[in-house]
Structure formats: structure tokens, C-alpha cells
Amino acid sequence: MARIVMKFGGTSVADIARIRNVARHVKREVDAGHEVAVVVSAMAGKTNELVQWTREASPMHDAREYDAVVASGEQVTAGLLAITLQNMGVHARSWQGWQIPVKTDNAHGAARIRDIDGAFLIKRFGEGQVAVVAGFQGIGPDNRIATLGRGGSDTSAVAIAAAVKADRCDIYTDVDGVYTTDPRIEPKARRLAKISFEEMLEMASLGAKVLQVRSVELAMVHRVRTFVRSSFDDPDAPGMGDLLNPPGTLICDEEEIVEQQVVTGIAYAKDEAQISLRRVSDRPGVAAGIFGPLAEANINVDMIVQNISEDGKFTDMTFTVPSGDVDKALAVLERLKTTIGYDVVQSEAGMSKVSVIGIGMRSHAGVAATAFKALADKAINIRAITTSEIKISILIDGPYTELAVRTLHSVYGLDKQ
């Protein structure tokens, strides 16, 4: 017998037929004798509809009331799944985030989980009950519902798995695992049997949409073995109930991966913008004076490149931000011009960031050189580069994104079985 947390996303519970299919997945684990908790998202499209309603009611709405509205989508799904399970003879009950309770901070709309006491759910396990929990939500210090931001149900599931010391956390979605790159761009992309927490964190933060970044962070901190699985697989197919190695991709400790590839995957993020400050005075505190106000304006700065002039008096500073934040960033920089001192600010949207990721890069030289040569052979110009122990990120012009992804996927042999 094992303790399992199962999470189902919006496409998996999009209508009653799909909710019945989800219930079959849950019943399979219950019939195998496992203790099961389920975390659900709102039905596909429902959160967008609720968000639109709040905006129509008032463009400048109260964030606390926004949370009260948008959290209702998960409540509906949890109730419907519990009813469906009961109809199948499974002892199930739905619970909202505040009833567990999932305790969060006060940042309504983008709250972070502070604490979950697993005792409530463990008591349900002892009663033979399947607890169906509304994801994406908790309760803040002000005693009001607080939502966790987009993808928050993934975070809810991993946090609950950590709180109850689950043997594994299964994230069911509309794909059957984590791939070496986006299969829509590269048909030869392969599903990975295993990927380390560190690699998955890089993949998620660099553009892969399979898991929400905070959920991977939590899984890594608490060492929660996490499987990415497809809810559209037949619940009764051979191997679906395998306790140790069910179909999908296991996200786990590096030590569990016996044969490590040098490169594990290629991620990409479109809609990046490049901002350059020319002839900035080169003196202590300038970088803090630029990037501090940008952070205060909630602008996510990514790649940063700095070039010093020959005389050492001036520097050119280039960095990237999401394209949607360009106007806000330029407004901040304009206010800083007199205090920072620069000649001109330039911006260019339509960039893409392509990243090479792999824990094997720590012990292998020449990985970056291989990428640069492969892109050069395809006449793809590199705008900026950043690196870490297990990743290389390259900024290129947007129209070359798909070519770059396919080129890098091939040059590292990821298209070979």
C-alpha cells in the first residue's frame, strides 16, 4: 500500500465525460489498496471566464474579491468529481483549500503557500476516504481565500504530497510526460523516462509548459517523487497501476538517474524583448540603480550583458524582459535617466530565448561550443548568452526559433533512440 496524491488539470476535467475518466484513474489506485488524495483544477476555460467577469464588473477590482470569484472554478470540479466517485462506489468527499487548511501569505492573486498541516488529510486516509481537494487556493492571514496564480494547482498538489509524506505525486495532464523538446516543433522529440529536479526546474522556468515552476521548486526542496502522466491514457491499460514506474516521466533526485545524458532537453521562450542602455556611467551602484527599480515594478529581467568602454568610464548594458513589459520598463528607465546617466535607450521586441539543458554539462567540456557552431552553420545570429552549471541560454531573432530548436535537438543526438 502506498500514499498517492493525484492532480488533474483543466483539460482533464473539461466536461462530465472527462471527469468520469478521471474518476476511473482514481478508482484504479483505490482498488489497488492505496491511500489517495486528489487535487483538481477548474474545468478548461472556466478560470478565464471568471477572470473576464471580474474585469467586466470593474477594471480596478479588489484582489480579495477577485480571489473569491476565481477560486470557485476548482470548487465546482472538486464537487463534481466527488459525486462521480461516490456513484462508482468510492468513499470520497470534496474539500476546499481553506478546509485543509492550505495556509498562504497575503498576496491575493499570486499567493505563496506558507504551511499545510497534513493531519487533516491523514485522518481522511484513516477513514478510507478519498479527499478531493480544490487546487489553486488556500487561506491567507486575513482569513480570506487566496489564489496561487496560474498553474497553482500543480503547486497545491506537490505541497500536499509533501505535507502527507506521499510516496509519489502524479500530475495528470494532456501530455504523456516530459519530452526532449516541444513535439510540435520537432516531431523526433522523445519522452524522457526520468529527469532530475534541477533539469525540470530549468525546463519549466525557460519555457516548457508541462509544470509550473513553483511546483518543481517545492518538489525539489521536499524531495517529492513526481510523475507527469496523461489523463487520456486508458485507466485500465497494462502498467497504468504500476506503483514504482507507471507510464510517464519521473521527476526525481539526480542519484536515481543511472545513465545521464550530457544534454537532456531543449527549451524555448518566445516574446522576449531586448533593451540596451548606451554609454552608462561606469561607477559602483549603477546596476543596482537600474535593476532595483525594475524589480520594484515587478518586471522580470532575465539575460544581462555588460560591455565596458576602452577608457573604463562608460558601459553599454543590455538585458531582456518579456515583450509585454517593454513599455513599463522603458517608463521606469526614463525616470532614472537623470540619476543613472545614459545617452540613449534602445529596445527591440520579437526575440526568442533557446536553452540547452542537462546535468551532464557539469562534467563535459565543449557543450557551448557545439551549440554556437551548429547555429552559425545555419546562419542564426546570437544576440546574447547566459550560462549556469546545467544550462546555456541563447537569445536569437524570433523567426529563427523553430530552426534553432530543431538544430540543437539534432546536434546533441536527442532525436536518436
Give me Rg for the CA atoms of the chain: 23
The grid coordinates listed for 74 are 476548482
Q: Which residues pair with 130 in a beta bridge?
A: 92
Label each residue of the chain as H, E or C. CCEEEEEECHHHHCCHHHHHHHHHHHHHHHHCCCEEEEEECCCCCHHHHHHHHHHHHCCCCCHHHHHHHHCHHHHHHHHHHHHHHHHCCCCEEEECHHHCCEEECCCCCCCCEEEECCHHHHHHHHCCCEEEEECCEEECCCCCEEECCCCHHHHHHHHHHHHCCCCEEEEEECCCCCECCCCCCCCCCCECCEEEHHHHHHHHHCCCCCCCHHHHHHHHHHCCCEEEEECCCCCCCCCCCCCCCCCCEEEECHHHCCCCCCCCEEEEEEEEEEEEEEEEECCCCHHHHHHHHHHHCCCCCCCEEEEECCCCCEEEEEEEEEHHHHHHHHHHHHHHHHHHCCCEEEEEEEEEEEEEECHHHHHCCCHHHHHHHHHHHCCCCCCEEEEECCEEEEEEEHHHHHHHHHHHHHHCCCCCC
CA dihedral 25, 26, 30, 32 (to 10 degrees): 20
Binding positions for ATP: 7-10, 173-174, 179, 184, 209-210
Report the distance separating Cα 232 and Cα 210, nearest Å: 15
Binding positions for substrate: 47, 74
Q: Are 46 and 10 in contact (CB under 8 A)?
A: yes
Report the distance separating Cα 43 and Cα 247, nearest Å: 24
Binding positions: 7-10, 47, 74, 173-174, 179, 184, 209-210
Q: Are 36 and 130 in contact (CB under 8 A)?
A: yes
Q: What angle do CA 258, 263, 264 make, to 5 degrees?
A: 65
